[in-house]
Amino acid sequence: MKNNTTVYFDNAATTPLRKEVIGAMAEVMENCFGNPSSTHAFGRSAKAYVETARKGIAKILNAQPQEIIFTSGGTESDNMVLHCAVRDLGVKTIISSAIEHHAILHTLEILEQNHGIEVKLLEVSDKGEVDFNQLEEYLALDNSPKLVTLMHINNEIGNLLDLEKVVVLCQAHQAYFHSDAVQGIGHYPFDLEALKIDFLSAAAHKFHGPKGIGFAYIRKNRKLMPLIHGGTQERGLRAGTESVHNIVGMFKALEIANDLWAKEKAQLLELKKYFLQKLKTLFPDAITNGFSGDLKRSTYTLVNVALPLPESKAAMLDFHLDLKGIACSKGSACQSGSTSGSHVLNALGTATQWPSLRFSFSIFNTKAEIDYLMQVLEEFVTT
Ligand SMILES: Cc1ncc(COP(=O)(O)O)c(C=O)c1O
């Protein structure tokens, strides 16, 4: 590939929009500017788009339309569920882990400090696996109402959580279960009729949809009250005029992801295998963080790797890749600019002096781009 090429390997941070998504959004922006709360024809037309999207998203997840609440994205959905579970469901103890996204961890700090909630963080292995025995132990500690919040796919190391296993444990102890599925929805099929989870968080920009839109899945009869007060939108649960074009874009993105899921998963698995193979040839000592090198236990979209580089080289690595037009991430994207390193890698306790990079892929990536990356890395270590 030419040197002025730009290569985007940061799809866990955000994904490019699909053309069809842009088309669907543009159509709404051009032709449907009404406020869905207005009762005239303009409003009714906007409302129809919103409700069609809600029904469509619910159908894809095998959920009920009223269980889908549109929000501004993953962070808001996480905040909504945690705050409301404490306020409205009487939750006194929240069980989580140290490798959750900061949208969870920082919310837990607030709930602990301001609301006296007991937060129990599960230990994780050096691969980032949560301790299920400890989860059971915490669930059985006392009879206080509990919420478990554990992410479906870790955004830094790609580890997959066995959601069904957590559901079974939570049900046995009458605890609520929320999962931050921001990295999972749009990449894995969900059947929420079968999977008896109470709450989920999702964000469209992780599956080729627009930014600033997502949803919270709230199972029927889990009676939450609004966190954002105002109008009666979202059945009174989340005030504010609906972002109609974003909602339509999210639905379109999820619809395409769902239609093409098996094909795109196979394509991306192939790409990930190719990446791991090339990496091993170039850096036989490289260490994949968490389960990200294990095709069965991590998502097919990312690899997080510690590269065996001397300190002098390590300091220049990010800069060099950027200069060569390659975008990837040092830990989590939300952390860029931070000097304290990734809280996830720190929690695994396997921190090395080697620099760790997260490469995350989408169907718009190619093997030629991986070849280009390897060529750039090879030149970097040998010069
Ligand atoms: C696992 C996870 N949770 C939550 C978020 C926050 O989502 P949003 O950017 O839509 O607020 C992200 C985004 O990086 C994420 O990866």
Q: What is the pLDDT of residues 255-273, one digit of tens each?
A: 999 999 999 999 999 999 9
pLDDT score of 23: 98
pLDDT score of 335: 42
Domain assignment of residue 1, yes or no = no
Domain assignment of residue 2, yes or no = no
Same domain, 281 and 155: no
Same domain, 237 and 283: no
pLDDT score of 98: 97
Q: How far is the CA of 104 from the centre of ligand 1 (A)?
A: 10
Q: Which two tokens stand for residue 372?
A: 């280009």
Tell me, yes or no, if 334 is annotated catalytic.
yes
Q: Which of 10, 11, 101, 157 to mutate to test the pocket of ligand 1 (most atoms within 8 A of CB)?
A: 101
**What residues does ligand 1 touch, defined as CB less than 6 Å away?**
73-75, 101, 103, 151, 155, 180, 182-183, 203, 214, 334
CATH number, residue 274: 3.90.1150.10
Q: Which of 155, 243, 342 to mutate to test the pocket of ligand 1 (most atoms within 8 A of CB)?
A: 155
Distance between CA atoms of residues 383 and 323, nearest Å = 16
The count of structural domains within the chain is 2
- Tell me the pTM: 0.96
Same domain, 164 and 249: yes
CATH number, residue 229: 3.40.640.10
Boundary-marking domain end, from 256, 273, 306: 256
- pLDDT-derived band at 353, boundaries 50, 70, 90: confident
Domain assignment of residue 32, yes or no = yes
**β-bridge partners, 149:** 178
pLDDT tens per residue, range 208-232? 999 999 999 999 999 999 999 999 9
Q: How far is the CA of 382 from the centre of ligand 1 (A)?
A: 37
- pLDDT-derived band at 135, boundaries 50, 70, 90: very high
Q: Dihedral of CA 236/145/183/271: which sign?
A: negative
DSSP 107-147: HHHHHHHHH--EEEEEPB-TT--B-HHHHHHHHTS-SS-EE
For residue 268, give its domain range. Answer: 7-16+261-382
In percent, the amount of the chain with pLDDT more than 70 equals: 96
- For 360, which DSSP code? E
